[in-house]
Chain A
C-alpha cells in the first residue's frame, strides 16, 4: 500500500500539488488523468522521491523507491548504451541476475543496437521491459501508451493486467481513457494539483462523459478557428 497524506508541492510560489490525500492499495491499478500541467508527473516524481514535498508518503516498505519501477514519459539512456546493457544495468542495480534477457524480450527489440537509435516507442518499450525484469512491487507508468504502436499497446494492457494478478500496485497516467478503463480499478481526475473527481470501475463511463463535456466546453470557448 502507498498512502499520501497532505502531500503538497511548490515550484517557487506556484503550488503544483495541493494537500493530496489518497491511498493506493496492493494489487490494484490506478489511473490518473488530467490536462497537461495538472500535476500528474509531479505527483509521480514525489512518490519516486525525485522531488522534495510537504506531507507524508507512507508505504509497506522501508524505502519505497527500492521497490518501485518508474517509467518516465521520456526515458533516459546513456549515449552508446545498447538495449541489452540498459536492461542489465537496471537489473544489476537491484541485484537481480538476468541471464535470459533475450528470451524475455517481450517486444522483440533489437537489443544489441544502441538505445539512442531506437524510435520513441521502442525506447519506451525498452524502459518498460527493464523495469519489469527488476521484479518491483509497485510500478508507476507515466504515459506508457504514448508513441507506442497498436500491437504493443495491447501487450502493455495485458502486462498491466498480469501485474495486477501478481498483486503489484500500478499507477498509470494516460490521455487514452479507453486503455485506463480496461486496466484500472479506480481512475482519479487531477486538475490544478487537486483530485477533483474519482471513479470506481462501474462509474468510469460517467467520469469519461464529464471529462469530455468539461474539456470540450473549455476548448470550444477558447478556440477561434478561422
Chain B
C-alpha cells in the first residue's frame, strides 16, 4: 500500500513537471489557488458551503472510474483495495474539510466525509450499469461523453437558479450559469484520438468552425433554463446576464481553439497561462484568440486535408 501511494506521488510530480513547473512550485501554486478560490467563494455567496463540496466530489468521482477500480480490485486484496480507496478519497477531501471546519460548516463537512467514504466503497458505475441519456448523441462526442461525466452539475445548477430566484440573489443565478460554463469548458480539456479528427472530411478552418458551432449551440441548450428563468425573474439585470453569457461563449470558443492549438498533445503551460491572464485582463483575448486560431490551423493541417 505504501508503494502504491509512493507511485501515485511520483505520477503526480510527473504531471506537474509536464505542465511546466517543478513539483515544489506546483504544490505551492496549488495551495495558493486552493486557498484563493476557497476564500473568494465563501466571501462571495452565503451558499458557498453547499457549492464548495462539489469541487472535491468532482475529483473523487474521477477516482471512482470503473476501469480504474476493476484494475485495483484485481491487483490488491479486498481489504487493501478498500483501504486504498478510502484513504485516497480522504486525502483529496482533507483540505476542503479543514476549510469547511474553519468556516464552521459542520453539517456539510460531515456530509462531505460521509459521501467521499461512500464513493470509495460503492462503484456507482458498476452498481447501476445504466447509460445516462443525453440530447447530444447526434453530434458526438465532447458533449455526449462530457455530459455523462458531469451530469450531476446540471441539476445542481438548475437548483441554484431556483434558489437564486427564491432568495432574490441574482449573483447566485450568475454562479449557476458559470457552473455550467465550467462544466462545458472541462469537455475540451483532453485531446481526442487523432482518428476522430482525421475522420472529418473538412478543412481545418471548417473543422474548427464546426466544433465551435456545436460547442456554442449545445452550451446554449444547457444554459437555456437558467437564462430564461433569470431574464423573467431579474428583468433589470438582463444586460449583466447577456454580458456573462457572451463571456461564456468567448471562453468556450477560446478553450476549443486552445485545445487544437496544442493538438494532438494536451494543453500545456502556455495555453493555460494565456487563458489565466485573459481572466485577469479580458482585452488580451483579442490577441489570444487569433493566436490560438492560427496555431490550431497549423496543428490540424497535417491531419486534415486543406482543400
Asked, given contacts A65-B74, A85-B7, whether A93 binds B80 with beta carbons under 8 Å apart, the answer is yes
Residues of A close to B239: CB separation below 8 A? none
> Interface segment, A17-25, A26-34, A75-83, A192-200?
A75-83
- The distance from the CB of A16 to the nearest CB of chain B, in whole angstroms, is 11
Answer whether residue A49 sits at the interface, using C-beta atoms and an 8 A cutoff.
Answer: yes
Using CB atoms, name the residue of chain B closest to A89: B7
Residues of A close to B76: CB separation below 8 A? 93
- The distance from the CB of A81 to the nearest CB of chain B, in whole angstroms, is 6
Docked complex Cα distance between A76 and B72 (Å): 10
Answer whether residue B77 sits at the interface, using C-beta atoms and an 8 A cutoff.
Answer: yes
We find that the number of chain A residues with CB closer than 8 angstroms to chain B is: 26
Contact B75 A93 (CB under 8 A): yes
Using CB atoms, name the residue of chain B closest to A93: B75
Docked complex Cα distance between A48 and B4 (Å): 21
Docked complex Cα distance between A75 and B3 (Å): 21
Residues of A close to B77: CB separation below 8 A? 63, 65-66
Docked complex Cα distance between A79 and B63 (Å): 13
Answer whether residue A90 sits at the interface, using C-beta atoms and an 8 A cutoff.
Answer: yes
Residues of B close to A93: CB separation below 8 A? 4, 75-76, 80
Asked, given contacts A78-B11, A80-B11, A80-B15, whether A70 binds B3 with beta carbons under 8 Å apart, the answer is no
Question: Which residues of A (22-71) have their CB < 8 Å from a CB of B?
Answer: 45, 48-51, 63, 65-66, 68, 70
Answer whether residue A120 sits at the interface, using C-beta atoms and an 8 A cutoff.
Answer: no
Question: Which residues of B (52-92) have their CB < 8 Å from a CB of A?
Answer: 67-68, 70-71, 73-78, 80
Answer whether residue B213 sits at the interface, using C-beta atoms and an 8 A cutoff.
Answer: no
Chain B's interface: helix, strand, loop or mixed, by majority? helix
Residues of A close to B10: CB separation below 8 A? 85
Docked complex Cα distance between A78 and B5 (Å): 13
Question: Which residues of A (152-195) have their CB < 8 Å from a CB of B?
Answer: none
Render B2-21 as a binary contact track against A, CB cut-off 8 A, 1 for contact: 01100110110011001000
Residues of B close to A8: CB separation below 8 A? none
Answer whether residue B193 sits at the interface, using C-beta atoms and an 8 A cutoff.
Answer: no
- The distance from the CB of A150 to the nearest CB of chain B, in whole angstroms, is 25
Answer whether residue A92 sits at the interface, using C-beta atoms and an 8 A cutoff.
Answer: yes
Answer whether residue B236 sits at the interface, using C-beta atoms and an 8 A cutoff.
Answer: no
Answer whether residue A129 sits at the interface, using C-beta atoms and an 8 A cutoff.
Answer: no
Docked complex Cα distance between A12 and B128 (Å): 9
Contact B11 A76 (CB under 8 A): no
Asked, given contacts A65-B78, A79-B11, A81-B11, whether A92 binds B70 with beta carbons under 8 Å apart, the answer is no
- The distance from the CB of A50 to the nearest CB of chain B, in whole angstroms, is 5
Residues of A close to B4: CB separation below 8 A? 89, 92-93
Docked complex Cα distance between A59 and B290 (Å): 65
Contact A89 B3 (CB under 8 A): yes
Indicate which residue in A63, A72, A76, A81 contacts B7 across the interface (CB closer than 8 Å). A81
Docked complex Cα distance between A70 and B68 (Å): 14
Contact B70 A50 (CB under 8 A): yes
Residues of B close to A45: CB separation below 8 A? 70
Answer whether residue B129 sits at the interface, using C-beta atoms and an 8 A cutoff.
Answer: yes
- The distance from the CB of A93 to the nearest CB of chain B, in whole angstroms, is 4
Interface residues of B (CB under 8 A from A): 3-4, 7-8, 10-11, 14-15, 18, 67-68, 70-71, 73-78, 80, 126, 129-130
Q: What are 6 pairs between A and B in contact, CB < 8 Å?
A: A68-B74, A88-B3, A92-B3, A93-B4, A93-B76, A93-B80
Interface residues of A (CB under 8 A from B): 11-12, 45, 48-51, 63, 65-66, 68, 70, 72, 75-76, 78-81, 85, 88-90, 92-94
5 closest A-B pairs (Cβ-Cβ)?
A76-B71, A93-B75, A92-B3, A80-B14, A76-B67
